[in-house]
Amino acid sequence: MNSVLKFYRDPEMGSIEPRDFKVYNDRNLDRIEALERVPESMRFDMRVVASVLPFRINEYVIDELIDWDNIPDDPMFQLTFPQREMLSPEAYERMAALHRRGAERKEIAALAKELRDELNPHPAGQMELNRPSEDDGEVMNGLQHKYRETVLFFPSQGQTCHSYCTFCFRWAQFVGDKELRIASTDADLLHQYLRQHPAISDLLMTGGDPMVMKTRNLRGYLEALLEPGLEHVQTVRIGTKALSFWPYRFVTESDADDLLRLLEQLVEGGKHVALMAHYNHPNELRTPIAREAIRRVRDTGAEIRAQGPLLRHINDDAQAWADLWREQVRLGIIPYYMFVERDTGARRYFEVPLARAWEIYREAMQQVSGLARTARGPSMSADPGKVEIQGVTEIHGEKVFVLRFIQGRNPDWVQRPFFARYDENATWLNQLKPAFGEEKFFFEDEFEAMKAGHGV
Beta strands 398-408; 418-421: pairing state: antiparallel
6 three-class SS: helix
* Least gap, CB of 280 to ligand PLP (angstroms): 17
Whether the upstream peptide bond of residue 309 has omega within 30° of 0, thus cis, is: no
Q: Are 159 and 208 in contact (CB under 8 A)?
A: yes
State which residue, 373 or 421, has the beta carbon closest to ligand PLP. 373
State which residue, 66 or 168, has the beta carbon closest to ligand PLP. 168
* Least gap, CB of 153 to ligand PLP (angstroms): 10
The C-alpha atoms of residue 100 and residue 222 are separated, in whole angstroms, by 49
Q: Are 360 and 321 in contact (CB under 8 A)?
A: yes
State which residue, 150 or 374, has the beta carbon closest to ligand PLP. 150
State which residue, 47 or 146, has the beta carbon closest to ligand PLP. 146
State which residue, 386 or 404, has the beta carbon closest to ligand PLP. 386
* Least gap, CB of 384 to ligand PLP (angstroms): 11
* Least gap, CB of 144 to ligand PLP (angstroms): 6
Q: Are 294 and 275 in contact (CB under 8 A)?
A: no
Residue ranges in 197-287 assigned as alpha helix (H): 215-222, 242-245, 256-268
* Least gap, CB of 396 to ligand PLP (angstroms): 32
Q: Which residues bind ligand PLP (CB under 6 A)?
A: 144, 146-147, 150, 152, 204, 381, 386, 406-407
The C-alpha atoms of residue 426 and residue 429 are separated, in whole angstroms, by 8
State which residue, 290 or 382, has the beta carbon closest to ligand PLP. 382
* Least gap, CB of 316 to ligand PLP (angstroms): 22
* Least gap, CB of 385 to ligand PLP (angstroms): 8
* Least gap, CB of 237 to ligand PLP (angstroms): 8
CA angle 298, 299, 302 (to 5 degrees): 45
State which residue, 162 or 376, has the beta carbon closest to ligand PLP. 376
CA atoms within 13 A on the CB side of 13: 20
Q: Pseudo-torsion of CA 375, 378, 381, 385, nearest 10°?
A: -80
Q: Which long-range contacts (CB under 8 A, 24 or more apart) does 94-98 make?
A: 95/48, 95/49, 95/51, 95/52, 96/44, 96/48
The C-alpha atoms of residue 193 and residue 186 are separated, in whole angstroms, by 11
State which residue, 146 or 181, has the beta carbon closest to ligand PLP. 146
Q: Are 277 and 306 in contact (CB under 8 A)?
A: yes
State which residue, 319 or 415, has the beta carbon closest to ligand PLP. 415
* Least gap, CB of 255 to ligand PLP (angstroms): 28
The C-alpha atoms of residue 245 and residue 161 are separated, in whole angstroms, by 9
Length of the chain measured in residues: 456
